[in-house]
Amino acid sequence: MDEPYSNSDNDKKTVLDKVFEDLYGIKPLKESELQIGWEYLNSSGYVIASGHKEENLQFGLWYDKQWERYDQVKDSFESYLKARGYILPADKSNFMYWFFKRALRLDNPLNEIIQQSHFLLYHEERLKLMNKPSKWEGLFNELSNRYIETTPEIFNDVMEYKRLPGGEPKILWLKYKVDAMVLLEYYNFTISEINDCYQSKNGVEFAANNRPTSNRKRPIHKIIEKFNSSSDN
């Protein structure tokens, strides 16, 4: 499965641009280059369009319809998925990126319509990705039950993509907040991303004033030094 993608604004054009860039290496066009509706897809050589305005319009209608169907299908199926512990999309754009990238690899992508079965397939593919050997395994083992309380799957996903897998609880940070700031800012987390993925032991959010106030080395620095070469920073 492809790496997760998240666009917090759930913007349709941004997700589509990302799909085409990843599949075909095509960069998004500027606004001045866009033609009416979805006709610009053809001018960029997108394989979905053959050059006929009607087919570009058909693609646009299909694309818009899937954005609408996502909410309908998810709402009808979400309680079933949660009750059985299935992995839910982190946000709408995350699922739609996966769905459109998958659909555009098919011979007839416009025949692909979002169904409940796609959420099951999404879960299966995300599970396979999460269970692959992880470059974060050593760091997880070092931190687990001393600094953090979580599963290796959640930790791997958070460290790799700086967001929680859909429906999963935040990682509980068991030590001082300053240690979390040292570790996570070393791995290029923003404070917002830290708070999205981690919860302090007292439940208070992490903030800039939790950063260390001196250059004194803490035990967490030794852990970073031990694993900095294996995390591909």
Which is higher by pLDDT, 164 or 167? Answer: 164
pLDDT confidence of residue 68? 93
Q: Strands across the sheet with 198-200, in order?
A: 148-149, 171-173, 198-200
What is the per-residue pLDDT for 7? Answer: 54
Q: What is the residue extent of each domain of the chain?
A: 12-130, 137-227
- Mean pLDDT value of segment 43-69: 63
Answer whether residue 35 shows pLDDT above 50.
no
pLDDT tens profile 135-161:
788 899 999 999 999 998 889 889 988
- Predicted confidence (pLDDT) at residue 42 exceeds the cutoff of 50: no
Q: Answer whether residue 48 shows pLDDT above 60.
A: no
pTM over 0.75: no
How many angstroms separate the Cα of 225 from the Cα of each of 77, 126, 139, 220, 230?
45, 30, 11, 9, 10
- Mean pLDDT of the region 209-230: 86
How much of the chain exceeds pLDDT 70, in percent?
76
Measured distance CA(113)–CA(115) in Å, rounded: 6
**Confidence band, pLDDT 50/70/90 cuts, at residue 75:** very high
| Six-digit token string for 24 | 């075909």
Band of pLDDT at residue 10, cut at 50, 70 and 90: low
pLDDT score recorded for residue 4: 54
DSSP secondary structure string, 159-200? Answer: HHHSSPPBTPPPEEE-S-HHHHHHHHHHTT--HHHHHHHEEE
**In this predicted model, which residue has the larger pLDDT, 134 or 80?**
80
List the single range of 71-80, 124-133, 208-217 with lowest mean pLDDT: 124-133
Question: Is residue 30's pLDDT more than 60?
Answer: no
Q: Are 90 and 166 in contact (CB under 8 A)?
A: yes
The overall average pLDDT reported for the chain is: 80
Question: Given this model, what pLDDT does residue 130 score?
Answer: 66
Instruction: Evaluate if residue 70 carries a pLDDT over 80.
Output: yes
- Residue 84 is predicted with a pLDDT of 87
Confidence (pLDDT) at 45: 42
Q: What is the pLDDT of residue 88?
A: 87
